[in-house]
Amino acid sequence: MFQRTTYIAALAVCGLGLTALHSGAQPEKKAKPEDSAKSKKALQEVQDFIGLWNLEGTQKVGAKTEAWKEKVSWGWKFKDGDAWITVSFAEGKGKYFTSGELKYDAEKKKYLLALTPSAKGEAAQTFEGAYAKGALKVERKDPKTNDVYRLTLNTAAEGERFAMKYEKQDGGKGLFSAVHAMNGSKDGVVAGAPKKPECIVSGGSANISVSYNGKDYWVCCSGCRDEFKENPEKYVKGK
């Protein structure tokens, strides 16, 4: 009786293990080093996004134009050799979105921008697209309505201005119509000021100083600062 009970218990444990495997409780597949390198290189195309922006949003409401202001922050994130870019809208209280992540799929050769809507209960929205002619243009299709939503993001004035345009194509046909737009300047930027030093991690415009072995270096965001502190020799070599 004891052996039979033990056998049944063992089967139950095995069953739980199989259930865990089939429920998706598996570690994320680590990106290949070469794909991680390609991803970081592609994301450096939008390096000018990095930083804090003072933006003004506008949208048409009937015959009137509604306006609001938001601080939008972009920064690098590093983990296990991989790199991506994060974004925060008004410290998580943006009018349309709270936060998001921008990644690059080396296999698809596409940028993936996942945004979390401000409206409670709405699932994250993933836009897919490419960077061309100085702008990142990504789209997503609503599976229920077939409506297509497009986001176009770009900088201007040597990285001192930022623009984000949100459009909609009804039913996936015809022309796109404007939903809302956000435009503004980088926080702390003074017209005619000297060019900022280069970030030792990402290569972009830097404004944060970090020290190592008695020498000062520059980074562009808190993500690059943390990455530099964890792997200083990787970045100071040859400098």
> Domain residue spans in the chain?
33-186, 194-239
Buried b vs exposed e over 48-61: b needs ≥16 C-beta within 10 Å?
bbbbebebebebee
pLDDT tens-digit series, residues 174-213: 999 999 999 999 998 766 667 778 999 998 888 899 999 9
Please give the pLDDT value at position 28.
53
Q: Quickly list DSSP for 75-111.
A: EEEEETTEEEEEEEEGGGT-SSEEEEEEEEETTTTEE
pLDDT tens-digit series, residues 121-169: 899 999 999 999 999 999 999 999 999 999 999 999 989 999 999 999 9
Which fold, 33-186? Lipocalin (2.40.128)
Please give the pLDDT value at position 193.
65
Please give the pLDDT value at position 196.
78
Cα(159)–Cα(156) distance, rounded to whole angstroms? 5
pLDDT band at 1 (very low <50, low <70, confident <90, very high): very low
Please give the pLDDT value at position 79.
93
**Who contacts 10 (Cβ-Cβ below 8 Å, separation ≥6)?**
none
More confident residue, 118 or 18: 118
What does pLDDT average to over the chain?
87
pLDDT tens-digit series, residues 11-25: 343 343 434 334 444
Give mean pLDDT, residues 25-51.
Answer: 82
Give the chain's largest Cα–Cα span: 87
**DSSP state for residue 171 in the 8-state scheme:** G
Buried b vs exposed e over 106-139: b needs ≥16 C-beta within 10 Å?
beeebbbbbbbebeeeeeebebebebeeebbbbb
